[in-house]
């Protein structure tokens, strides 16, 4: 008889009810596929992003069916949510259910997580083989690589190894998409804002977007980032194409969001093979890249193969801040990469961070200047967050600027990134001054872009303004008619 395993992702929705962008929990889907492929387990998945999911749905499922194990994927911000769920389960369900935690929270905070007796195991790193081994033999956790647990004396232990699956990347099962309501992840994921596409007469497309991975790992050591695994591995192009075809045929996907952080880090031959074999599918896709390793020939090839957006992990345009972040980049690297992406007719996305130690008005404006010089659409700036596992978190924990590891996790849950609810400010600036600099930078980027459109793209600019005015008028008319009908 197969053992029943319930897998749960407890990271909630992003956005509001009308524009919520949902991201399929690929890590959970990979784990589900590996468990199911053994033939020993029957698997069901619950994702908190779904409107009818949440702790009550998990409890109802556990009451209705007999499960041998519960696997929970969680990020650092989910710690409080996790504790609420597992305590309710132990209080209301009881029994001998084994609870296993995976994801970034388990990876870097297992010592904190396992202080809570409701939780049995934490999987360290990529858990495809670790989870199978522990679910097959609960009694010998010391023999499972990459597992944290409490021994017979209640002491917390962690076995060495296990951060990478024992399988080669192409041997890992394709995500178990069929265990998720894939159609509900596809909407609200256009690759770029339509008002900044600069293609006035391009047919408005209804995007059906799904997340995929073409590789895993990141070998860099950015100070603000905690990576699950450093070793970079790329998948076989033929297997990726097969997966794309399946998702297009079954779910109507027409835009793939390639979520590995450094897609373009792959070998040049791999990139060329990928573009050659993806192009005939006629599908659009987006990816992420460091601001290095891109040339115009490669970018034009990617554009021809359907690449419509590259999000660049630049973080800042300041040389001082890049050095403080250990980015191993210069502002010239950032500038040239964004210029080439734009020249290849690919939308240049960018990740921006404000609040690095030593930040000031000049360093913030260095980022604004790059956007102005290249006439780029504006981007939001995110406040620096000290995530467990990052060099910054270790540095400021030692300095006493952060409280206990557990308190950091609680703060991450309660913070919302706004001035009213700041999580960590280690910039050296007062909270209100840092917030002022961010708001000013975002206004400046928006104003610079509008000025560029007004001067260099007059027809596009004024036609867009007319469209906006017409849409606003139509909304007012509809609202007034609705109000009149209600009366």
Per-residue pLDDT at 119: 97
Task: Examine the pLDDT at 477 and tell me if it is beyond 80.
Answer: no
pLDDT band at 415 (very low <50, low <70, confident <90, very high): low
- Tens of pLDDT, residues 144-180: 999 999 999 999 999 998 889 999 999 999 999 999 9
Average pLDDT over residues 245-268: 91
* Lowest-confidence region among 138-147, 208-217, 359-368, 475-484: 475-484
Per-residue pLDDT at 423: 74
- Tens of pLDDT, residues 316-365: 999 999 999 999 999 999 999 999 999 999 999 999 999 999 999 999 99
The secondary structure of the chain, three-state, reads CCEEEEEEECCCCCCCCCCCCCCCCHHHHHHHHHHHHCCCEEEEEEECCCCCCCHHHHHHHHHHCCCCEEEEECCHHHHHHHHHHHHHHHHHCCCCCEEEEECHHHHHHHHHHCCCCCCCEEECCCCHHHHHHHHHCCCCHHHCCCEEEECCCCCEEECCCCCCCCCCHHHCCCCCHHHCCHHHHCCCCCCCCHHHCCCCCCCCCCCCEEEECCEECCCCCCCCCCCCCCCCEECCHHHHHHHHHHHHHHHCCCEEEECCCCHHHCCHHHHHHHHHHHHHHCCEEEEEECCCCCCHHHHHHHHHCCEEEEEEEEECCCHHHHHHCCCCCCHHHHHHHHHHHHHCCCEEEEEEEECCCCCCHHHHHHHHHHHHHCCCCCCCCEECCCCCCCHHHHHHHHCCCCCCHHHHHHHHHHCCCCHHHCCCCCCCCCHHHHHHHHHHHHHHHHHHHHHHHHHHCHHHHHHHHHHHHHHHHHHHHHHHHHHHHHC
Average pLDDT over residues 114-127: 96
């Amino acid at each position: 008889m197969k053992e029943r395993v319930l897998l749960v992702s407890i990271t909630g929705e992003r956005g509001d009810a009308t524009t919520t962008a949902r991201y399929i929990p690929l890590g959970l889907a990979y784990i589900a596929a590996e468990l199911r492929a053994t033939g020993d387990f029957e698997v069901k998945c619950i994702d908190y992003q779904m409107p009818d999911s949440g702790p009550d749905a998990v409890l109802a499922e556990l009451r209705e069916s007999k499960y041998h194990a519960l696997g929970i994927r969680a990020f650092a911000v989910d710690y409080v949510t996790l504790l609420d769920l597992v305590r309710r389960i132990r209080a209301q369900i009881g029994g001998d259910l084994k609870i296993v935690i995976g994801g970034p929270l388990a990876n870097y905070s297992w010592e904190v997580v396992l202080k809570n007796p409701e939780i049995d195991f934490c999987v360290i790193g990529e858990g495809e083989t670790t989870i199978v081994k522990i679910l097959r033999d609960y009694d010998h956790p010391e023999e499972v690589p990459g597992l944290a647990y409490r021994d017979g004396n209640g002491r917390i232990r962690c076995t060495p190894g296990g951060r990478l699956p024992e399988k080669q990347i192409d041997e890992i099962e394709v995500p178990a998409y069929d265990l998720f309501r894939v159609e509900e992840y596809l909407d609200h994921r256009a690759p770029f804002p339509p008002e900044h596409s600069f293609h006035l007469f391009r047919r408005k497309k209804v995007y059906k977007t799904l997340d995929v991975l073409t590789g895993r790992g990141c070998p860099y050591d950015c100070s603000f980032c905690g990576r699950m695994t450093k070793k970079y591995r790329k998948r076989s192009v033929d297997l990726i194409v097969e997966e794309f075809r399946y998702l297009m045929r079954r779910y109507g996907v027409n835009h793939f969001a390639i979520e590995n952080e450094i897609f373009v880090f792959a070998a040049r031959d791999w990139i060329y093979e990928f573009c050659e074999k993806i192009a005939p599918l006629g599908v659009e896709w987006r990816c992420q890249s460091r601001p290095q390793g891109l040339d115009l020939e490669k970018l034009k090839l990617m554009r021809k193969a359907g690449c419509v957006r590259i999000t660049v992990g630049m973080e800042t345009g300041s040389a001082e801040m890049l050095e403080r972040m250990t980015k191993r980049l210069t502002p010239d690297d950032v500038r040239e990469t964004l210029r080439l992406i734009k020249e290849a007719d690919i939308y240049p996305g960018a990740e921006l961070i404000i609040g690095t130690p030593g930040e000031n008005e000049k360093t913030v404006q260095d980022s604004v200047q790059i956007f102005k010089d290249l006439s780029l659409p504006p981007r939001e700036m995110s406040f620096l967050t000290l995530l467990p596992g990052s060099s910054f978190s270790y540095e400021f924990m030692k300095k006493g600027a952060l409280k206990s590891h557990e308190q950091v996790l609680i703060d991450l849950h309660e913070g919302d990134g706004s001035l009213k609810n700041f999580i960590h400010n280690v910039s050296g600036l007062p909270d209100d001054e840092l917030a002022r600099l961010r708001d000013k930078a975002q206004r400046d980027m928006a104003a610079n872009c509008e000025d560029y459109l007004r001067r260099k793209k007059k027809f596009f600019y004024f036609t867009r303004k007319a469209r906006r005015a017409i849409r606003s008028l139509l909304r007012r008319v509809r609202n007034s008619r609705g109000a009149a009908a209600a009366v």
